[in-house]
Structure 1
């Protein structure tokens, strides 16, 4: 069973492009992780949300990859005043 996520991020309008860059830097940390399958960065047409998606081949791969993000890119995932509302994150299981 693969494991995925979808996360909605709400950066202030003046920080959207910066936030997209942060998401791509997190993706770069995920790329070499065992069991990583894919991650994408999307922006809504209105530019009011950045949506990230990802997929891993197992729960173990998912947990290991995000441990690497915390270790190697913690500054990129910190929630701060550049975001105007809390993130909404869902973990997904394939069926």
Structure 2
């Protein structure tokens, strides 16, 4: 059973491009982790939210990759200094 997430981030309008760039850096690191399946970085049409997605072979693979992301300053909870409100993260399991 695969494990994934979708996260809605709300960077300040003047920081959207910088935030997207940071997301792509984390995505590149994720691609190198064992159990990686996919990653995506999206921006809503109105530009209000950056949406990140990811999928791994297992929750364990995700948790290990999340540690690498934490070392880069990316965490699934809380706020970065570029965000103006808390992100919303949903964890998913394939069925």
Give the aligned partner of residue 41 of structure 1.
41
Deviations along 1:19-67, one digit per CA (max 9) or x if unpaired, are 0001001101111100001100000000000000000001111111111
Could you tell me how far apart the structure 2 residues matched to 1:61 and 1:80 are?
24
Structure 2 match to 1:62: 62
Structure 1 runs, 4 residues or longer, greater than 4 Å off: none
Unaligned runs of 5+ in 1: none
Equivalenced residue count is: 93
User: Which structure's residues are more often helix, by fraction?
Assistant: 1
User: For 1:24 and 1:41, how far apart are their aligned partners in 2?
Assistant: 7
If the length of structure 2 is used for normalisation, what is the TM-score? 0.91
CA distance in structure 2 between the aligned counterparts of 1:41 and 1:80, rounded to whole angstroms:
17
Q: What root-mean-square deviation, in Å, do the aligned CA atoms of Structure 1 and Structure 2 show?
A: 1.3
Query: Which consecutive unaligned segments of at least 5 residues does structure 2 have?
Result: none
Residue 82 of structure 1 and its aligned partner are, at CA, apart by 2.0
